[in-house]
Structure 1
């Protein structure tokens, strides 16, 4: 049987030349304000955001993650009956980026991963039943972009360094691995449960709400976090985001890296059954979560 290779990007497909390269590939490209196509790529956007993109942008705008999600993004389903992604929401009634100005990007220092990579595409690959992923690069050539005609040559690695992508790629690796693992697992794990979809959206994209969840009584009745780890998660959003990726691998794929308290689930189940019997909570399953309404999902517990 041919080994199943997952060769997909979490980002929306682009008109990519079907040739992959490593970081030593020399490209010819430059974008600047005086170029005739300046801002053209920002006038018709289809930009998927990574969790780190959202963290950087909500900090930039001094918003909570929930406020940023509601004001500047829209969810979409990555695959049928699968986990949700988040895209930039364009201007009302149009297709342009909300952050585009005549002078260029108003959040340039914190622009998303996809914007930094253009016109290079990151292609992540993962073999079925393997825990590591590999990556290569491809070139995007669109008719509206004149940057490829500019007299400047550099390698893809040099371009990535110039665009500050080493940090973005490192911080986004755990998220990409979750997506690739779900794609490569296919029917062996089935469709994610409603609870898993809720947890995935919250842990990846709604970081402020995830922090509240991690410090809730329901979470701490189940998971055994050290005081040092709790302090780190309370003070460092990047560490909290990475902890979220670990938590999702444990919940969705049973890859345990977070200690669980002895008899925690038995105690929780008994407590839940007592509350159901007393009529304090419903025994009905959680409402269905769809990509059209993940911002309104109910509180996620460990029941």
Structure 2
């Protein structure tokens, strides 16, 4: 299952027709269809932050354990921005959560699985403050669902698959990714530090919770005791805060108050490090 609508090669399963929310398409998937579960036999599923949150909660493990056991890294663009894909079963392309009865994590399945057989592409025009979503039909050879008589609008299909909450939870993160792509060379190649922060804030909730608990974070950012308590206990609140942090750290969009003396302290630390480095070199 490949949900990348940018793939326009001759063998691409993407139907190159843009669909809007109220456009209708023919498709149905159910346990009685002959191809049931075949789409789970060969997967290529990019995970979003909310996908990871839901799955690690379903499996009752930490975010770090989920990342280690169930994901593989890849680069989302030419600048090395980190992404994660769902790890397949050992020595196969099969989804590790597939059972004889179907999806073993169906209620918490990833966004890409919920959209199938639709593809989603988010776009942002240069200098536009908002992004636009476009939908495409994904027709793979093994899938017989396109021959079923049932039709529905894109909007109704999204609702039936529970996509709305996933898109809502991931919207700010997608905005960060889109802005990074649309800015292109204007912001230059990301530093190693910014890539590490992107990974931490996007995927590693445990690590990000530890990060915002450090004295160095408190030296820069102002977080009320009430909000801090919520961030320590509520993964969804922490994830949304992490997206705000990304916008601020990558693009300078101030969504988290900073202490007036924060810049002076950062400059002082940089001077100290620079002096120490010069001393060692001498």
Q: Same fold (TM over 0.5)?
A: yes
**One of 214, 217, 220 as aligned partner of 1:216:** 214
Cα pair distance change 1:231/1:111, threshold 3 Å: same
**One of 56, 60, 66 as aligned partner of 2:54:** 56
**Runs of 5+ unmatched residues, structure 1:** 1-8, 285-303
Tell me how large the CA RMSD over aligned residues is: 2.1
CA displacement 1:212-258 (0-9 Å, x = unmatched)? 11111111111111122212212221111111111111111111111
User: Is the Cα–Cα contact under 8 Å of residues 17 and 138 in structure 1 kept in the other structure?
Assistant: yes
TM-score scaled to structure 1, two decimals?
0.85
User: Is the Cα–Cα contact under 8 Å of residues 12 and 48 in structure 1 kept in the other structure?
Assistant: no
**Runs of 5+ unmatched residues, structure 2:** none
Runs of 4+ in 1 over 4 A off after TM superposition: 9-14, 271-279
Q: What is the Cα deviation at residue 277 of structure 1?
A: 6.2
Cα pair distance change 1:161/1:154, threshold 3 Å: same
User: Is the Cα–Cα contact under 8 Å of residues 66 and 206 in structure 1 kept in the other structure?
Assistant: yes
- Count of aligned pairs: 274
Distance 2:55 2:130 in 1: 28
User: Is the Cα–Cα contact under 8 Å of residues 12 and 47 in structure 1 kept in the other structure?
Assistant: no
Task: Indicate the residue corresponding to 2:259 in structure 1.
Answer: 261
3-state secondary structure, aligned to 1:48: coil
Q: What is the Cα deviation at residue 269 of structure 1?
A: 3.9
Q: 1:1-303 counterparts in 2 under 5 A?
A: 13=7, 15-271=13-269, 273-274=271-272
3-state secondary structure, aligned to 1:93: coil
Distance 2:253 2:205 in 1: 21
User: Is the Cα–Cα contact under 8 Å of residues 11 and 48 in structure 1 kept in the other structure?
Assistant: no
User: Is the Cα–Cα contact under 8 Å of residues 5 and 136 in structure 2 kept in the other structure?
Assistant: no
Cα pair distance change 1:10/1:217, threshold 3 Å: farther
3-state secondary structure, aligned to 1:85: strand
Distance 2:113 2:237 in 1: 24
Distance 2:99 2:80 in 1: 35
